[in-house]
């Protein structure tokens, strides 16, 4: 699967003869997918497909491309910030990779009530980190009804909701990776776009992420869209798990350590950057596909490979799936990162005005 991901990016970048051939072979599929997406958007725009209005306010956080733009950290930042301003906030997430088909209450008050096998890794990670309600389900309309009816929330944040147009929203936040931008400009599978770039006009606010690491890409600098803010992921702690309880440790413990990295995320590049910034020596890299479900064989392979290193450093999203395995005490830690938004108070004021 990792090889498939690398091959896909090789084709998207049209590297070499076979990259060019692969890209040409995929372009007819992209054109077909583009037609379907445009037709679907037209049906919603013209009112031929119904958009359902829930009883509470809805904020959508999403993007136009596949891969990491920081959606989930952005959702967590926004939920915590609005909660601190007195809003009764919940998070709605699809639950990619989970076996539960029905709407599931994943967590309340910082306690996870479901497992990654049931609802996927990101909902459980959010439930462990957010002192509020997290609900997972493919039917976002039903999830919103539960949020408002059972928990008396007044606002929900729709994680990865830009393409989910059935549920009406009060404000659309569109995230853009400043390194990748729109990629090669093509829709899946010949490129990373989920929708044509023109769909960005639906966004009320653009959040350009990972700017301080890679430089700020100006591909969305256009008067056609709403205001732009800049955000970046910043390490705040290391996490260790003991009998299901998470404990925070100082990030500075990474300094001078020979570490093996272990990731199952879309884009681990910023993760590596953060570790080196804190003076960890990355001596071994082990990458799995995004949302990878770790097995007993994986654990044995990881444990054997890690014996000559000081630490195994992973991500929060991976920790919720790895903590069930008996790693040596103190060997496995996760890097906790948080989204930081420049002029964050102004963004919150804008969101609140839109909700009002």
- Tens of pLDDT along 52-63? 999 999 999 999
Percent of the chain with pLDDT over 70: 94
* Average pLDDT of span 281-304: 96
- Which run of H or of E encompasses 126? helix 121-129
* Average pLDDT of span 22-50: 97
- Residue 246 shares a structural domain with residue 300: yes
- Residue 135 shares a structural domain with residue 251: no
Question: 138-143 long-range CB contacts below 8 Å, 24 or more apart?
Answer: 138/94, 138/95, 138/101, 139/103, 140/92, 140/94, 140/164, 140/166, 140/167, 141/52, 141/54, 141/166, 141/167, 142/103, 143/92, 143/103
* Average pLDDT of span 337-344: 96
pLDDT, position 213: 40
* Residue 99 covered by a domain: yes
Which residue is associated with the tokens 């093996």? Answer: 260
- Residue 168 shares a structural domain with residue 238: no
pLDDT, position 178: 81
- Residue 32 shares a structural domain with residue 79: no
* Residue 39 covered by a domain: yes
Q: Average pLDDT over the chain, rounded to whole?
A: 92
pLDDT, position 225: 59
pLDDT, position 3: 55
- Which run of H or of E encompasses 157? strand 155-159
For residue 125, give the CATH number of its domain. 3.40.50.300
pLDDT, position 211: 52
Distance CA 92, CA 89 (A): 10
189 preceded by a cis bond (ω within 30 of 0): yes
* Residue 51 covered by a domain: no
Give Cα 199 distance to the centre of its chain: 20
In this prediction, residue 4 has a pLDDT band, given cuts at 50, 70 and 90, of low
Question: Beta strand 245-249 with 281-287: parallel, antiparallel or unpaired?
Answer: unpaired
| Range in 48-57, 62-71, 336-345 the model is least confident about | 62-71
- Residue 123 shares a structural domain with residue 20: no
pLDDT, position 223: 41
Reference 96, options 117, 112, 77, 78; nearest CA is 117
Which residues face 281 on adjacent strands?
Answer: 258
- Residue 182 shares a structural domain with residue 69: yes
pLDDT, position 2: 58
Sign, CA torsion 7/200/177/75: negative
Q: Read off the pLDDT of residues 182-225 as tens digits, 9 standing for 90 and up.
A: 889 999 999 999 999 999 999 999 999 865 443 344 444 444 45
* Residue 31 covered by a domain: yes
- Is 0.95 surpassed by the pTM of this model? no
Q: Between 71-84 and 344-355, two packed helices, what is the crossing angle to 10 degrees?
A: 70
- Residue 335 shares a structural domain with residue 187: no
pLDDT, position 229: 95
Residue 91's SS3 state is strand
pLDDT, position 9: 74
DSSP structure class, residue 193: B
pLDDT, position 288: 95
- Residue 155 shares a structural domain with residue 285: no
DSSP codes joined into one string, 239-304: EEEETTEEEEE-GGGGTT-EEEEEE-SS--HHHHHHHHHTT-EEEEEEE--TT----HHHHHHHHH
Percent of the chain with pLDDT over 90: 83
Residue 321's SS3 state is helix
* Average pLDDT of span 109-138: 96
Distances (CA, A) of 82 to 155, 348, 351, 352, 355: 9, 7, 9, 9, 11
- Residue 249 shares a structural domain with residue 294: yes
Which residues face 338 on adjacent strands?
Answer: 234
- Residue 65 shares a structural domain with residue 161: yes
Sign, CA torsion 106/268/291/138: positive
pLDDT, position 24: 96
DSSP structure class, residue 337: E
Distances (CA, A) of 344 to 5, 20, 156, 340, 351: 34, 42, 19, 8, 11
- Residue 8 shares a structural domain with residue 119: no
- Residue 33 shares a structural domain with residue 78: no
Number of domains in the chain: 3
For residue 284, give the CATH number of its domain. 3.40.50
* Average pLDDT of span 307-311: 97
Q: Between 121-129 and 71-84, two packed helices, what is the crossing angle to 10 degrees?
A: 30
* Residue 52 covered by a domain: no
* Residue 251 covered by a domain: yes
Which residue range(s) make up the domain with 329?
A: 234-339
pLDDT, position 202: 95
Q: Read off the pLDDT of residues 105-116 as tens digits, 9 standing for 90 and up.
A: 999 999 999 999
* Residue 50 covered by a domain: no
Q: Read off the pLDDT of residues 252-269 as tens digits, 9 standing for 90 and up.
A: 999 999 999 999 998 898
């Amino acid at each position: 699967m990792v090889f498939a991901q690398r091959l896909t990016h090789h084709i998207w970048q049209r590297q070499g003869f076979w990259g060019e051939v692969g890209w040409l072979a995929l372009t007819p599929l992209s054109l077909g997918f583009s037609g379907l997406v445009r037709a679907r958007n037209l049906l919603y725009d013209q009112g031929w497909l119904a958009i359902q209005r829930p009883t509470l306010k809805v904020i959508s956080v999403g993007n136009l491309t596949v891969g990491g733009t920081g959606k989930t950290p952005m959702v967590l930042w926004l939920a915590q910030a609005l909660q601190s301003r007195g809003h009764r906030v919940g998070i709605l997430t699809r639950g990619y990779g989970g076996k539960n088909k029905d709407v599931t209450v994943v967590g309340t008050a910082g306690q996870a009530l479901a497992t990654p096998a049931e609802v996927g890794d990101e909902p459980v990670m959010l439930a462990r980190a957010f002192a509020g309600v997290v609900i997972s389900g493919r039917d976002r309309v039903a999830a919103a009804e539960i949020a408002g009816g059972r928990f008396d929330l007044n606002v929900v944040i729709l994680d990865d909701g830009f393409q989910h147009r059935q549920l009406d929203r009060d404000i659309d936040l569109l995230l853009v990776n400043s390194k990748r931008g729109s990629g090669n400009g093509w829709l899946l599978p010949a490129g990373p776009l989920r929708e044509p770039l023109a769909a960005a006009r639906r966004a009320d606010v653009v959040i350009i992420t990972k700017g301080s690491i890679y430089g700020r890409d100006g591909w969305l600098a256009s008067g056609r869209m709403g205001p732009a803010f800049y955000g970046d992921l910043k390490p705040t702690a290391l996490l260790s798990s003991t009998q299901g309880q998470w404990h925070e440790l100082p990030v500075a413990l990474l300094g001078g350590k020979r570490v093996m990295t272990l990731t199952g995320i879309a884009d681990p590049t910023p993760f590596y950057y953060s570790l080196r910034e804190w003076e960890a020596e990355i001596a071994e890299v082990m990458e799995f596909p995004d949302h990878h479900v770790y097995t007993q064989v994986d654990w044995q392979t990881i444990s054997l490979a890690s014996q000559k290193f000081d630490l195994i450093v992973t991500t929060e999203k991976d920790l919720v799936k790895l903590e069930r395995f008996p790693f040596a005490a103190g060997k496995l830690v996760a890097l906790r990162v948080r989204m930081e938004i420049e002029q964050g108070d102004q963004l919150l004021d804008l969101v609140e005005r839109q909700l009002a």
